[in-house]
Structure 1
Amino acid sequence: MFETVISLLTFIMLCVTLAPLLSSNHWLSRVWEFPRVQIAVLTISLTIVSFFLASPIITALLVTINGLMSLYQIIWILPYTRLYPVQVKKAVTPYQQTIKIMTSNVLMTNHSADKLINLIKIHQPDLVVTLETDLWWEEALQSIHVDYPHRVNCALDNLYGMHLYSKFALQDVQVSFLVEADIPSIHCYLILKNAHKIKCHFLHPAPPSPTENTTSTPRDRELLIIAKTVRDKTEPTIVTGDLNDVAWSPTTRSFRKTSGLKDPRIGRGMFNTFHASYPILRWPLDHIFHSEHFQLATIQRMPSIDSDHFPLLSELVYINK
Structure 2
Amino acid sequence: MLDTLLIILTVIMLTVTLAPLLPSNHWLCRVWEFPRVQIAIINVCILVASFFLTSSTTQIMLVAINGFASLYQFFWIFPYTPFCPIQVPKSSAANHEHAIKIMTSNVLMTNHSAEKLISLVRLHQPDVLVTLETDTWWQDALSPLHIDYPYRVNRPLDNLYGIHLYSKYKLEDVDVLDLIEDNVPSIHCYLRLKDETKVKCHFLHPAPPSPTENQSSKPRDKELLLIAKKVREKTEPTIVTGDLNDVAWSPTTRAFRRISGLKDPRIGRGMFNTFHADYFFMRWPLDHIFHSEHFVLGTIKRMPSIDSDHFPLLSELIYIKK
**Alpha-carbon displacement from aligned partner over 1:256-283 (angstroms, at most 9, x marks no partner):** 0000000000000000000000000000
TM value normalised by structure 1: 0.99
* Residue matched to 2:228: 227
- Alpha-carbon distance in structure 1 between the residues aligned to 2:207 and 2:128: 23
**Alpha-carbon displacement from aligned partner over 1:128-150 (angstroms, at most 9, x marks no partner):** 00000000000000000000000
Structure 2: 5+ residue stretches without partners: none
Q: Secondary structure of the residue that 2:175 maps to in structure 1?
A: strand
* Residue matched to 2:58: 58
* Residue matched to 2:17: 17
8 A contact 2:300–2:316 mirrored in 1: yes
* Structure 1 residues 94 and 124: alpha-carbon distance in aligned structure 2, compared to 1, 3 A threshold: closer
- Alpha-carbon distance in structure 1 between the residues aligned to 2:280 and 2:94: 36
* Residue matched to 2:276: 275
8 A contact 2:33–2:247 mirrored in 1: yes
Whichever residue aligns with residue 320 of structure 2, its letter is I
Q: Secondary structure of the residue that 2:196 maps to in structure 1?
A: coil
- Alpha-carbon distance in structure 2 between the residues aligned to 1:233 and 1:49: 53
- Alpha-carbon distance in structure 1 between the residues aligned to 2:182 and 2:160: 13
Whichever residue aligns with residue 70 of structure 1, its letter is S
Deviation at 1:102, TM superposition (A): 0.1
8 A contact 2:27–2:210 mirrored in 1: yes
1:216 maps onto 2:217 in alignment = yes
Q: Secondary structure of the residue that 2:202 maps to in structure 1?
A: strand
Q: Secondary structure of the residue that 1:37 maps to in structure 2?
A: helix
* Residue matched to 2:289: 288
Whichever residue aligns with residue 283 of structure 2, its letter is R
- Alpha-carbon distance in structure 2 between the residues aligned to 1:22 and 1:232: 31
TM value normalised by structure 2: 0.99
- Alpha-carbon distance in structure 1 between the residues aligned to 2:255 and 2:304: 30
1:48 maps onto 2:48 in alignment = yes
**Map of 1:89-128 to 2, 5 A cutoff?**
89-95=89-95, 97-128=98-129
Deviation at 1:91, TM superposition (A): 1.1
8 A contact 2:94–2:318 mirrored in 1: no
**Alpha-carbon displacement from aligned partner over 1:284-306 (angstroms, at most 9, x marks no partner):** 00000000000001000000000
RMSD: 0.6
Q: Secondary structure of the residue that 2:142 maps to in structure 1?
A: helix
Deviation at 1:94, TM superposition (A): 4.5
- Alpha-carbon distance in structure 1 between the residues aligned to 2:192 and 2:93: 23
* Residue matched to 1:88: 88
Whichever residue aligns with residue 104 of structure 2, its letter is T
Q: Secondary structure of the residue that 1:64 maps to in structure 2?
A: helix
Q: Secondary structure of the residue that 1:129 maps to in structure 2?
A: strand
- Alpha-carbon distance in structure 2 between the residues aligned to 1:293 and 1:250: 25
**Alpha-carbon displacement from aligned partner over 1:155-213 (angstroms, at most 9, x marks no partner):** 00000000000000000000000000110000000001111100000000000000000
Q: How many residues align structurally? A: 321
Deviation at 1:232, TM superposition (A): 2.0
**Map of 1:251-262 to 2, 5 A cutoff?**
251-262=252-263
Counting aligned pairs with the same residue, the percent is: 70
1:202 maps onto 2:203 in alignment = yes
* Residue matched to 1:36: 36
8 A contact 2:94–2:298 mirrored in 1: no
